[in-house]
Amino acid sequence: MALCEAAGCGSSLLWPRVLLFGDSITQFSFQQGGWGASLADKLVRRCDVLNRGFSGYNTRWAKIILPRLIRKGNSLDNPVAVTIFFGANDSALKDENPKQHIPLDEYVSNLKSMVQYLKSVDVPENRVILITPPPLCETAWEKECLMQGCKLNRLNLVVGEYASACLRVAQDCGTDVLDLWTLMQKDSQDFPSYLSDGLHLSPKGNEFLFSHLWPLIEKKVSSLPLLLPYWRDVAEAKPELSLLGDGDH
């Protein structure tokens, strides 16, 4: 006898999702102590956190692949929140890193296109969070560049221009935004300590990002219940009575 027949299967259990879309800072976020891993831990049994980070990618490439990650379908399957976290590669200097560099006006256009695409597949603006690139520690990043046989290919001032553009897009499109570039440098903080190599996040930087992102995510997931009953609440004689309901416990 099939397992489902034996158990008397209930309806399929809908498991909400949060989608993290970005470059290497998102891809690496599931490492130990990473901001994505912290988010997944915080939301366990309430929703899945999907890592769709692509190391080295910019918004030109991100705009192309986004429709392969989310398509129009059952609205109940749509993410309850989406982070869009690009700019660290777009802001690379054109002369030193032409492959990753994206002109500022195109960066703006690409971000807007992604927000508009999400809206077209029933992920409205109020579910979207844009994240600016973090500040760049030029001294540390230059060492990384020299080890790879190239010159310094990013400048913090330029990264700041892309961060400001990201803020404008969020304002124009009506999304939430996390201004990481400004927050990490606020009140003369030692922002290089938030970075592992001048560009990517250190453990302290991951913790900083998570602490500022969580309040924005929490607003979007606060109504989600814990999925399936607490173990002490499962009916001992007939567990299926507890386990084949709607899962809202």
Residues that are catalytic: 24, 197, 200
Residue 201 in contact with residue 28, Cβ under 8 Å?
A: yes
Q: What sign does the dihedral 144-146-150-152 (CA atoms) show?
A: positive
E strand residue ranges, the chain: 17-22, 48-53, 81-85, 128-131, 176-178
Residues 131, 84 contacting (CB under 8 angstroms): yes
Q: Tell me the CA distances in angstroms from 189 to 34, 40, 54, 134, 152, one per residue in order.
A: 21, 28, 29, 13, 23
**H-helix or E-strand spanning residue 216:** helix 203-221
Going by C-alpha positions, the residue among 214, 227, 223 that lies closest to residue 15 is 227
DSSP state of 80: S
Report whether 16 contacts 224 (CB < 8 A).
Answer: yes
Q: Which two tokens stand for residue 17?
A: 């999702």
Task: Give me the residues paired with residue 83 across strands.
Answer: 20, 129
